[in-house]
Amino acid sequence: MAGGTLIGFDFGPRKIGVAIGQSITATAAPLTTLRSHDDRPDWQRIEALIREWQPEAAVVGLPYNMDDTETAIAPLARRFARQIQGRFGLPVHLVDERLTTLEARQILGRKATSREVVDAMAAKLLLETWLSERH
């Protein structure tokens, strides 16, 4: 993945934070937060983002508890990752997303007026985590 674009997802059952990153610089930026409809991801918006940004791969946050066990929504995040791979033919990488939401709130401070902003920032942080582990 030399210099390729990556898309990152902070998966949640109701909202999914999205970020975009570059493997050459190992940096990412928050993009948007998508709301799920009837417990289903907004596949039309996800498809539009993938078409627009043409990522080489996707990174999906896998939620863990502090004791290294997966959270109750981890199976849903794994399913989402499989769906991204199946629908769009992208390689998908899972990354431990523990504490990214807390860190996003700390970074944003007073700017963290909405959960959507926090979710997109959390997606940025988990994508940068994955990128820095490979750099």
Per residue in 79-94, pLDDT (tens digit) is 999 999 999 999 999 9
Contact (Cβ atoms closer than 8 angstroms) between residue 122 and residue 63: no
* Segment 68-81, tens digit of pLDDT: 999 999 999 999 99
Of 45-54, 55-64, 117-126, where does mean pLDDT reach its minimum? 117-126
Higher-scoring residue by pLDDT: 20, 135: 20
Domains (range + CATH), the chain: 5-134 (3.30.420.140)
C-alpha span between 62 and 60 (Å, rounded):
6
Nearest to 97 by CA among 108, 81, 113: 81
Beta bridge partners of 42: none
